[in-house]
Chain A
Amino acid sequence: MIQLLNTLLIGITAGSIYSLMAIAMVLVWRSTRVVNFAQAGMALLSTYFGYEVIQLTHSYWIALPVAMLAGAVVASAIELIIMRLLLKHSSQGAIASIAPIIATLGLLGLIKSVIGYFWGNQDLSLESPLSNVGFTLGSDTLAISPLKLFIIIAVAFLVLTLSFIFQKTNLGLALRASAYSPEISRLAGIKVDLVRTIGWALAGAAGGAAGMLQTANGTGTLSPDSLEFSLLLAFGFIAAVIGGLDSLVGAVIGALVLGLVLAFVLTYIGGSLVFITAFVLLLVILLIRPGGIISQKAGRRA
């Protein structure tokens, strides 16, 4: 019984972090029709900035928002410089439809190399500010610890804020309109390019939070090749696809589903099958419901 509860908790915690990543990817996809593989790289870079802030202030609590801010800035810069260049140069040919994707891949490599240049390839320590030791219930230890509680609350807060922005504010309306129909939005006077940059900034901030939380929740070590970030990249993408690339709600649901499924596999079967399970889940969803779990369309060719 306790094991079941623990598994659920682990799954929800991991899933919440992936959901931030998935949201970031969905934000970029909807505003730019690009799957941004560099998202995890940007999250990584933001986390390194967070690390620097911790070195300066010894406070994770200051570092977290700063990392998010850094993520927003980095993402905006990348959108302004590279994405706009890319969209202008869109040409024909075999590569045209995937050129932006490959560019983001190149960007990922570039960011990792830049990180390696400035910070080196060794492991840096970025520890969680809260204890990850579970609360005790009688003689059992629950998986829920102060840290995990914080993560769930923080993510819930961020997701709610984002939803609020999207559904209830003028900016959110502009973001949605520009994503659905850039031409109509332009003719209606919306500065679609600016709005797109803001979309990227929000995605960058979400990524920064994901990076900081993931590192704290994991081994507490930071390096350019860290496994945690490769997982964040892969699982963030998988979660976004499971939820349907077009929907923020879907991203969150997809991520939670993924987190739970993987937690169960981890607990009851074993760590070795975790990645394969995620991959199989991805394939299954793509084959049965290409539009994602909550979509109504049966077939989707993107």
Chain B
Amino acid sequence: MHKLKSNNISRLIGFVVFGIFLLYLSNTIDELRVYQGATVAMYVVAISSIILLTGYSGQVSLGHGALLAVGGYGAALVRNNLHAPVWLSFAAAVLIAALCGALLGVTAARLSGPYLAGTTLALAVGLPSIANQFKFLGGEQGLIFDIGLPPASLGETFSQYKWFFWIAALTALIAMWWLQNLLRSRYGRIWRAVRTQSVAAELAGINVARAKILAFTVSAGLAGLAGALLSMTISTVSPGAFPLSLSFALATGAVLSGVTTLGGVMIGAVTLVAIPEIADALTQRFGASENVINSLPGLMVSGLLIVVVLFVPNGPVEQIRHRRKK
């Protein structure tokens, strides 16, 4: 027990140190990178939600973009209509998305493999049209989500982007620390058992269905949080912000990071942000038609997904660990 506690404390210190490092970083790098940093933080939370769902409890969701949308809309609605402070809107995002996740999870617990994949995909495909239909969701334009200016106490030169980054990074750090604790706890073990040996788990007295639903709920909550962060960075929430390609990107990020472990989540997140950059740089360098500019990022993401799934399906982190064991 004592060892466990000291492990926990040392990890907590690790997070805090990392947080301070990020703080320092945000003061030294330029605006654009800071903004991208906020996006990376958002992806970290989103990808981790998939790692929890797929890598731990073994359920696949190809439509997590829909859950991000739920979170984003939830946050915006609460903030705009109830004039809630930012942290409360984030909390609302988590709760509303988690609720949806629970509902989805009840259905999902009875499905597996391709059926689950297809159902969640159908959700992701259909979500934009659902959002378009309802007036209070702002239709195609969507809603505004404005988290306000950075507080005066941080000084005049503190930019909006830096504020985004601080909030996103802090949120991500807290969420990751909490998630890591959760995954290392009994729950994490139960989920792993459910994924790898569900029959044995059932026989050992684990309520497999309940564990799966719980996983979906927590995963959805995290996804909702990521959605709120996403909306924050673009200051709006609309159907167009959560296209099918977002769900694909998240799946790619998760596969890249190595679905079974939280350790590689930064890899996926950074790659997702880096790809449009790289695509941009390539098209600028070599000069390209409009067609190329538009399709290159998608091409890279999809191509990367296919290559990774074919050759490194468990992610580079797992691959290295595997090599080390040999």
A residues sitting closer than 8 Å to B (CB atoms) are 29, 34-35, 37, 82, 85-86, 89, 91, 93-99, 101-103, 105-110, 112-121, 230-231, 233-234, 237-238, 241, 245, 272-273, 275-276, 278-279, 282-283, 286-287, 290, 301-302
Q: Is the beta-carbon distance between B295 and A106 smaller than 8 angstroms?
A: no
Q: Is the beta-carbon distance between B306 and A110 smaller than 8 angstroms?
A: yes
Q: Is the beta-carbon distance between A302 and B311 smaller than 8 angstroms?
A: no
Q: How far is the CB of B301 from chain A (nearest CB, A)?
A: 6
Residue B121 is within 8 A (CB to CB) of chain A in the complex: yes
B residues sitting closer than 8 Å to A (CB atoms) are 54-55, 58, 60, 62, 107, 110-115, 117-119, 121-123, 125-126, 129-130, 132-134, 195, 244-245, 248, 251-252, 255, 259-260, 290-292, 294-296, 298-299, 301-306, 309-311, 313-314, 318
Q: Is the beta-carbon distance between A113 and B112 smaller than 8 angstroms?
A: no
Q: How far is the CA of A290 from the CA of B108 in the complex (A)?
A: 12
Choose from B55, B112, B115, B309 the contact partner of A99 (Cβ within 8 Å).
B309
Given A276-B130, A286-B110, A286-B119, A106 and B302 contact (CB-CB distance below 8 Å): yes
Given A94-B259, A238-B122, A278-B126, A102 and B309 contact (CB-CB distance below 8 Å): yes
Q: Is the beta-carbon distance between B255 and A114 smaller than 8 angstroms?
A: no
Choose from B107, B118, B248 the contact partner of A106 (Cβ within 8 Å).
B248
Q: Is the beta-carbon distance between A93 and B112 smaller than 8 angstroms?
A: no
Q: Is the beta-carbon distance between A234 and B122 smaller than 8 angstroms?
A: yes
Q: Is the beta-carbon distance between A116 and B126 smaller than 8 angstroms?
A: no
Given A35-B118, A93-B260, A234-B126, A103 and B309 contact (CB-CB distance below 8 Å): yes
Q: How far is the CA of A116 from the CA of B301 in the complex (A)?
A: 14
**Max count, chain A CB within 10 A of own CB: residue among B122, B255, B294, B314:** B122
Q: Is the beta-carbon distance between B125 and A110 smaller than 8 angstroms?
A: no
Closest to B249 in A: A109
Q: How far is the CB of A102 from chain B (nearest CB, A)?
A: 5
Closest to B295 in A: A116
**Max count, chain A CB within 10 A of own CB: residue among B113, B118, B294:** B118
Q: Is the beta-carbon distance between B115 and A95 smaller than 8 angstroms?
A: no
Q: Is the beta-carbon distance between B126 and A110 smaller than 8 angstroms?
A: no
Closest to B134 in A: A272
Further pairs besides A85-B310, A105-B251, A273-B133: 11, Cβ < 8 Å: A94-B58, A94-B314, A95-B259, A95-B314, A114-B299, A121-B294, A238-B122, A245-B114, A275-B126, A290-B111, A302-B112
Q: Is the beta-carbon distance between A101 and B110 smaller than 8 angstroms?
A: no
Q: How far is the CB of B261 from chain A (nearest CB, A)?
A: 10
User: Which of chain A's residues have a CB closer than 8 A to the CB of B110?
Assistant: 286-287, 290
Q: Is the beta-carbon distance between B113 and A230 smaller than 8 angstroms?
A: no
Q: How far is the CA of A99 from the CA of B114 in the complex (A)?
A: 11
Choose from B58, B259, B291, B311 the contact partner of A116 (Cβ within 8 Å).
B291
User: Which of chain B's residues have a CB closer than 8 A to the CB of A120?
Assistant: 290-291, 294
User: Which of chain B's residues have a CB closer than 8 A to the CB of A275?
Assistant: 126, 129-130
Choose from A94, A101, A276 the contact partner of B55 (Cβ within 8 Å).
A94
Q: How far is the CA of A109 from the CA of B296 in the complex (A)?
A: 11
User: Which of chain B's residues have a CB closer than 8 A to the CB of A29?
Assistant: 114
Q: How far is the CB of A295 from chain B (nearest CB, A)?
A: 13
Q: How far is the CB of B244 from chain A (nearest CB, A)?
A: 7
> 4 closest pairs, A vs B, by CB?
A109-B302, A106-B305, A116-B295, A272-B133
Q: Is the beta-carbon distance between B313 and A96 smaller than 8 angstroms?
A: yes
Q: Is the beta-carbon distance between A103 and B306 smaller than 8 angstroms?
A: yes
Q: Is the beta-carbon distance between B107 and A109 smaller than 8 angstroms?
A: no
Choose from A85, A97, A105 the contact partner of B62 (Cβ within 8 Å).
A105
Q: Is the beta-carbon distance between A112 and B298 smaller than 8 angstroms?
A: yes
Q: Is the beta-carbon distance between A110 and B299 smaller than 8 angstroms?
A: yes
Q: How far is the CA of A114 from the CA of B292 in the complex (A)?
A: 9
Q: Is the beta-carbon distance between B126 and A279 smaller than 8 angstroms?
A: yes
Q: Is the beta-carbon distance between B118 and A241 smaller than 8 angstroms?
A: yes
User: Which of chain B's residues have a CB closer than 8 A to the CB of A119?
Assistant: 291
User: Which of chain A's residues have a CB closer than 8 A to the CB of B305?
Assistant: 102-103, 105-106, 109
Choose from A35, A113, A287 the contact partner of B302 (Cβ within 8 Å).
A113
Given A109-B305, A113-B298, A286-B119, A101 and B130 contact (CB-CB distance below 8 Å): no
Closest to B192 in A: A94
Given A275-B126, A282-B119, A286-B119, A101 and B301 contact (CB-CB distance below 8 Å): no
Q: How far is the CA of A112 from the CA of B255 in the complex (A)?
A: 21
